Chain A
Amino acid sequence: MSRRMPRVALPLALVAAIAGACPASAAADELEYPVKAEFIERFTRFIDWPTQVFAGPDAPFVLCVVGSTPMEAHLERIAGRRLKERRVELRRLKPTADAGACHLLFVAGSERGHIKQIITRLSGKPVLTVGDSEGFAREGVLINLILDEDGHVRFEICSNELRKSGLNVSAQLLRLARVVTEVQP
C-alpha cells in the first residue's frame, strides 16, 4: 500500500504548483477529479463508522454514487482498493432510491434538485454524504469539496448534520475544513 502512495502524493503536489501558477490551465482541470477522488479515499482514514453499520467482519464498504459526475471513473478506481480495510462495493443509485445501506454517498452536482430529499432521508444516519458542488454543505451534505482561490482542493463540513450522523470524525480533519451549518428552510 505504501509503495503506491508516492504516486498519489506527487500529483497532489503538482496540483498546488500548477494551480498556483495558472488556475485556468487544462492540466489543473484534468487533475481536479483524481485529486478529489483521492480526498474521498483519505476522508475514510479520518472518519470512523459505528461498528454496527457493517453486517460482519467480511461485509463490504458500500460506496454509492447518485447522479452523473466526471468523478465516476475515478471513484471506480478507488473502489478497486480497500476502504476501512474492507473490500469496496460501488453502487449507482437513483435519486429516489434509499441510500440508507450506503456507507459513503457521493452526490453529483446534477442532483441539486433532489438534494433536499436525499438529505432529509439520510439525516441522523451514519452515511457520509460527499459532494463537490457550490453550496451543498449548506444544504446538509456532510462534506463538500471545493476549490479555493488558488485552485487548491479544500472542503467544507456541515457541522450540525455531521453531529447528528453518529460518524466519528477526527479533530484533525475538522481543523482543515471550513465549517458550515445547514440552512433550515
Chain B
Amino acid sequence: MTRRLQGASIRRKLIALTLTVILIPVFCVLAIVGEKEIRDIQTDMLASSALMGSMVAEFGAAALAFDNPRAAEQVLRTLGNHEEFLDAVLYDLAGHRFAAYNRVGNIGAPIDLVPPAPEALVTRDGARITVVRPVDRNGTRFGTIVLHTSTAPLTSRVRAYLWGLVWLIAGVLAASLMLAWALEQMVSRRVQKLADVAQQIAQREDYSVRADDRGRDEIALLAHGFNAMLAEIGRRQSEAQQAIRVRDEFLSVASHELKTPLTSLKLQVQSLMEMPPAIADPAEAKRLQSSFALTERQVRRLERLVTNLLDVSRIAIGRFALASQEVDLVVLVKDVIAQFSAEIQRGGYQVSFDLPAEAKGQWDPLRLEQVVVNLVSNAIKYGDGKPIDIAVARRQEQTVLRVRDHGIGVDLPSQERIFERFERAVSVNYGGLGLGLYITRQIVTAHGGKISVESTPGQGSTFVVELPPEVPASPASPAAPASPASRASSTSREGAA
C-alpha cells in the first residue's frame, strides 16, 4: 500500500491523505454513535412494549376486578393507536380469556392459555416482541395480560437511521473530496505547471519561458529557483552561441585568406616540377626532384586542411550547394587512389579493389571526390600499414562504396560521435582536425545517401557509403545544416567539450 502510494502522483497522495485524515475519524465516530443509537432504539422499543403491558395491566385491573370484559376490550382497543401493536389477550386468574383485541389486518388469533407470569416478562423472537405481565392492584393479582408487538417499526426506524448515516457519510465524503480538490489546486496543480514548463523547455529548447513564481510558499520558492536557473542557462547559451559565431567567422575569414595564396603556391610548385632540370648532375637533379615532390605533397595536405575548414564554415552558414552532373564513381575512385599513390607506397599498403566496369550517377563530382579522399586518407592514416580493400557495387538503385582497412578501429561508443564536427577518437599523435568524416557525412546526406561505420577496435574499420542514382529534388534536411535544431545540437555538444 505505502509502496504503491509512493509511486503515485502528488495529487493522488494529497487526495489519499485528506480522505484518510477526514474519513477514518468520521467513520469511527459514526460507527460508535450508530451502534449506540441502534442499541438505544432497540431498548426503547422493548421499553415501550413493556410500557404498553403496564398500561393494560393498570386499566385492565379494574375491569378484571369488577368483571367487566367490555371495559377491558375498550382498554385493549386503545392499544390499536400504537403502530407496533399486534394483539393482546387479558386472562383472568383461572387462565380463561377475559378480553382480547386483535389489530385489524393482523391474523394469528391469540391462544387461550396463560403461561405463569409472576413478574413482567418481555421477550423478543424475530420480528415479534411478547410481553407477559401479571395484572394486579395493591398486591392482589386479578389476571394476566399477554400482548404482542411487531419489531417492523423498529427495523424501519433503524433502517431510516442507517440511511441517515449513509447520507451523512456521503456528505462527508463529498466535502472531503472538495477539500482534497482545493488542496490539490493549491499544491499539486502548481507543481504540475512547473513540471509542464520544464517539459516544454526540454522539448523546445526555448529558455526564454518562465515559471509562475508568485506566492511565498515552497513551490513559489522552487519556481523562483527554477527561473533563476533558466536565466543562467539562457545567458550561457547565448554566450556560447556568440563564441561559436565568432569562431565560425574567424574560420571562414581565415580559411578564405589562406586558400588564395595556397592555390598559387600549389601552381608554382607544380610548374616548377614540370620544368626540365636546370642542374646537370643527375644525382643533384633527382634530389631536387624528390624535394619538389615532398613540397607538393605538403602543399596538397595543407590545401586539404584549408579546404576542409572552408567547407565547415560554409556548412555552418548554410552556403553549401551541390552541382550535380554525370559521374562515374569507379573512375573517381581510381583517380583518388592515383593521387594517394605516394602515401600508399610510403605506408607500405596493399590496396585491393573490387570494382565494376562503371558506376554512374548524377552527383557533384568535386564533393564526391572529397568523400572518397576523406575515407581513403583515413584508411591510410589509421590503417596501421595493413591491407586496404575498396569496393564499389550496385545494390538495387543504390550505389555502394565500401572502404575497409585492418587498422586501429573505432570503439563502439565513438562510432556515432566521429561523424560530428571536431570529434576525434584518437590521440593527438595522429594529425588532423576531426573534420573529414563530418564533411563527408554532410556531402553524403546532401546527396540523399547514407554513411555508416562498422568497426572492431584493433581489427579495422569499414566505412560504407550508399548513394541514390541522383540527388533528390529537395535534399534531406541534414544536408541543410543551417537549420537551427541541428546547429544547436552540434554547437551544444561543442560547448560541452
Question: Is the C-beta of A97 less than 8 angstroms from some C-beta in chain B?
Answer: no
B137 touches A176 (CB 8 A): no
Residue of chain B at shortest CB distance from A6: B93
Residue of A with least CB distance to B139 = A1
Chain B, interface size category, equals 20 to 34
Known: A172-B59, A173-B62. A13 touches B92 (CB 8 A): yes
Q: Is the CB of A175 within 8 A of B59?
A: yes
B266 at the interface (CB under 8 A from A): no
B300 vs chain A, min Cβ distance (A): 139
In chain A, positions 22-72 with a C-beta closer than 8 Å to chain B are: 35, 39, 42, 45-46
Closest Cβ of chain B: how far from A175's Cβ, in Å?
6
Specify which chain B residues have a CB less than 8 angstroms from the CB of A164 in the assembled complex: none
Q: Which residues of B contact A46 (CB under 8 A)?
A: 62, 65, 137
CA of A2 to CA of B138, assembled, Å: 12
Known: A9-B93, A10-B94, A172-B59. A45 touches B137 (CB 8 A): yes
Contact, CB under 8 Å: A170 / B92: no
Which A residues lie within 8 Å of B61 (CB)?
172
Contact with B along A162-185 (1 / 0, CB 8 A): 000000001011011000000000
Contact at B66–A42, with CB atoms within 8 Å?
yes
* B140, A16: Cβ atoms closer than 8 Å: no
Inter-chain CA distance A159–B313, complex, in Å, is 133
Within the assembled complex, what's the spacing in Å between the Cα atoms of A175 and B72? Answer: 10
B140 touches A172 (CB 8 A): no
| A9 and B62 contact, Cβ closer than 8 Å, known pairs A1-B139, A45-B138, A153-B67 | no
Query: Which label, helix, strand, loop or mixed, suits the secondary structure of the A interface?
Result: helix
**A15 part of interface (Cβ distance < 8 Å):** yes
Are B140 and A13 touching (Cβ within 8 A)? no
Cβ-based interface call for A12 (8 A): yes
Q: For chains A and B in complex, what number of residue pairs have CB atoms within 8 angstroms?
A: 57
Q: How far is the CB of A178 from chain B (nearest CB, A)?
A: 11
Q: B58 within 8 Å of A by Cβ?
A: yes
Contacts known (A10-B94, A13-B92, A172-B59); A2 close to B67, Cβ less than 8 A? no
Partner of A176, one of B58, B71, B139: B71
Interface: A106 (CB within 8 A): no
Q: Please determine whether A13 and B62 come into contact, CB atoms closer than 8 angstroms.
A: no
Q: Which of A12, A154, A172 contacts B62 (CB 8 A)?
A: A172
For A16, the chain B residues whose CB sits under 8 A away are 67, 69
Chain B residues positioned under 8 Å from A153 (CB to CB): 66-67
Q: Name the A residues within 8 Å of B13 (CB-CB).
A: none
A118 to B416, CA, bound (A): 140
Q: Is A152 an interface residue (CB 8 A)?
A: yes
Given contact pairs A1-B139, A2-B141, A175-B62, A9 touches B71 in the complex (Cβ within 8 A): no
B94 x A9 contact (CB < 8 A): yes
Q: How many residues of A contact B (CB 8 A)?
A: 24
> Which residues of the other chain, B, contact A175 by a CB distance below 8 angstroms?
59, 62, 71
A153 to B67 alpha-carbon distance, docked (Å) = 8
State in angstroms the CA–CA spacing of A173 and B142 once bound together. Answer: 14
Asked whether A155 is an interface residue with its Cβ less than 8 Å from the other chain, the reply is yes
Tell me the complex Cα distance, A1–B140, Å.
8
- B38-85 contacts to A, CB under 8 A, are 58-59, 61-63, 65-69, 71
Residues on A with C-beta less than 8 A from B139 are: 1
A42 and B94 within 8 A (CB): no
A35 to B68 CA separation, bound complex (whole angstroms): 13
B310 to chain A, nearest CB (A): 128
Chain B residues whose C-beta falls within 8 Å of the C-beta of A39 in the assembled complex = 66
Q: Which residue of A lies closest to B96 (CB)?
A: A13
Q: Which of A15, A45, A152 contacts B65 (CB 8 A)?
A: A45
B138 cross-chain contacts in A, Cβ below 8 A: 45
A9 lies within 8 A of B92 (CB): yes
Give the shortest distance, in Å, between B13 (CB) and chain A (any CB): 71
Q: CA separation between A13 and B68, bound complex, in Å?
A: 10
Chain A positions within 8 Å of B67 at CB level: 12-13, 15-16, 35, 152-153
Q: How far is the CB of B362 from chain A (nearest CB, A)?
A: 128
Say how far A67's CB is from chain B's closest CB, in angstroms: 24
A residues near B58, Cβ cutoff 8 Å: 172
Residue of B nearest to A10 (CB): B94
Give the nearest-CB partner of B72 in chain A: A176
Closest A residue to B138 by beta carbon equals A45
Output the nearest chain B residue to A9 by Cβ-Cβ distance. B93
Tell me which residues across on chain A come within 8 A of B93, comparing CB atoms.
5-6, 9
Q: Which residues of A contact B59 (CB under 8 A)?
A: 172, 175
Subset of 9 A-B contacts with CB under 8 Å: A5-B141, A6-B94, A16-B67, A45-B137, A152-B68, A154-B66, A173-B66, A175-B62, A176-B68
Apart from the given pairs A5-B141, A6-B94, A154-B66, 6 other A-B contacts in the complex at a CB distance below 8 Å:
A5-B142, A10-B94, A13-B96, A45-B140, A172-B61, A172-B62
Interface residues of B (CB under 8 A from A): 58-59, 61-63, 65-69, 71, 92-94, 96, 137-142
